[in-house]
Amino acid sequence: MTKTLEGGCLVSHMHDGAPLLEGTLRIWKQVGRATGAQAISLRVMEFAPGMSPAIRNDDCDQILYVLDHNRVAVADSSQGQAQSAPPLDQDSIDHPHPEGVRRTKGIATIFINGGRHEIGPATGIYIRPNETFAIDNTSSDSITIISSQCPDPDHSPQFVSALSATPHSNASAPAPIVRLADQHAQPTADRWYRVMVDDGIGSAQVTQFVGSIPPGRAPDHFHNYEEVLFILMGEGLMWAGETNTPIASGSCIYLPKGQVHCVENTGEGELRLLGVFYPAGSPSVRYDA
């Protein structure tokens, strides 16, 4: 059930509402123009094993992020409980990395306009305007991808019968795949963030990042951009002005431009989040309230 906080800040769970069903794909739309956003959206896309339907992107940027289900404690909204993510030192990893970021193997293939790319957990993906993509999930379990479109087309996805066979249409463009473990950590006070998708690979509208928040509450602040957040791991409170509501892994958050807010980590370990904001810029730019 969506909670509305001061200034129009929205907090929901990733599986709130009835999903759209198409083949192996289920989609829950949590943020968009229909919920009061001006330009940005947030959708939860769940791909069962096998080849998904092909989806044609609208005339907008679309940014994807593959969840790591070994890390994300995805709550069951019908039971009100969550399965905890394993401790950092008990995860099976290919290579260790600072800040508990794992280098992981591919679990699926994404086809974008005829080109194929292996993707794994904690991967950011840039879909250019009007490109067509599909996911071939080669694992035995469903995989979940967080999608954000900007500007939000505000209508149902465009499913097409086949992938566009134009592998050379963007031959000179940078590869649209970014892995969290390959990105440099930018420290800010006692926390860090890693930029994933930005104009470096062609996204002129929005910036995607992953951030880490230690236990405690930072000062209230605001940004001059519209933002959506997805809680990857941890628990806490989402503050908007004088109002708050609990958040945990699987929480989806919408923050209007200029809204005073704070993410408080009430747990004993790291709170990690995925953020996408418009217009594009640096996640470090903030203004004290």
- What digits encode the pLDDT tens for the residues 48-67? 999 999 999 999 999 999 99
125 phi/psi in degrees, rounded to 5:
-135, 135
pTM of the model: 0.88
> Among 285, 277, 283, which residue's Cα sits nearest to residue 40?
277
Domain pair 18-179 / 184-288, same fold: yes
| Residue whose tokens read 């806490």 | 236
Please give the CATH topology (third level) of the domain spanning 184-288.
Jelly Rolls (2.60.120)
**How far is residue 1's CA from residue 40's CA, in Å, rounded to a whole number?**
20
pLDDT grade, residue 166 (50/70/90)?
low
Give the residue-averaged pLDDT of 161-177.
67
More confident residue, 261 or 107: 261
Q: Which long-range contacts (CB under 8 A, 24 or more apart) does 188-197 make?
A: 188/284, 189/218, 190/214, 191/218, 192/99, 193/283, 193/284, 194/101, 195/282, 195/283, 196/65, 196/124, 197/63, 197/124, 197/125, 197/126
CA gyration radius, the chain: 18
Alpha-carbon torsion (103, 192, 277, 44), positive or negative: positive
Domain extent listing, the chain = 18-179, 184-288
pLDDT at 138: 93
**How far is residue 30's CA from residue 16's CA, in Å, rounded to a whole number?**
8
Q: Which CATH class is domain 18-179?
A: mainly beta
Does residue 17 sit in helix, strand or coil?
A: coil
pLDDT at 161: 84
Mean pLDDT of the chain: 88
